[in-house]
């Protein structure tokens, strides 16, 4: 991959990341006009973590009790 291909690939990744961030912010009911403000990404992350806390705690309890579902297939 030459430098031009790498730059295009990186731009695509960054655009996808921005779309995902905007989608998450919209889902959380955040004001998108603030997205250029410092701390916006961290605010989205914190709100997402809070909104999904119950699901994450439930999954962690499941893994603690039963182990990882596909653990027997791991090679490391």
Matching residue, tokens 């999904």: 52
- Alpha-carbon distance of 20 to 26, in angstroms, equals 10
- Full-model pTM: 0.61
Joined tokens for residue 41? 């990404």
Q: What digits encode the pLDDT tens for the residues 47-76?
A: 999 999 999 999 999 999 999 999 889 887
Q: What digits encode the pLDDT tens for the residues 2-48?
A: 656 656 677 888 888 889 988 999 999 998 888 788 888 889 999 99
């Amino acid at each position: 991959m030459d430098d031009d291909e790498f730059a295009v690939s990186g731009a695509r990744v960054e655009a996808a990341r921005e779309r995902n961030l905007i989608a998450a912010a919209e889902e959380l009911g955040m004001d998108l006009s603030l997205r250029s403000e410092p701390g916006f990404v961290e605010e989205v992350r914190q709100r997402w973590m809070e909104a999904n806390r119950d699901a994450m705690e439930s999954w962690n309890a499941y893994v603690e009790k039963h182990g990882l579902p596909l653990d027997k297939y791991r090679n490391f």
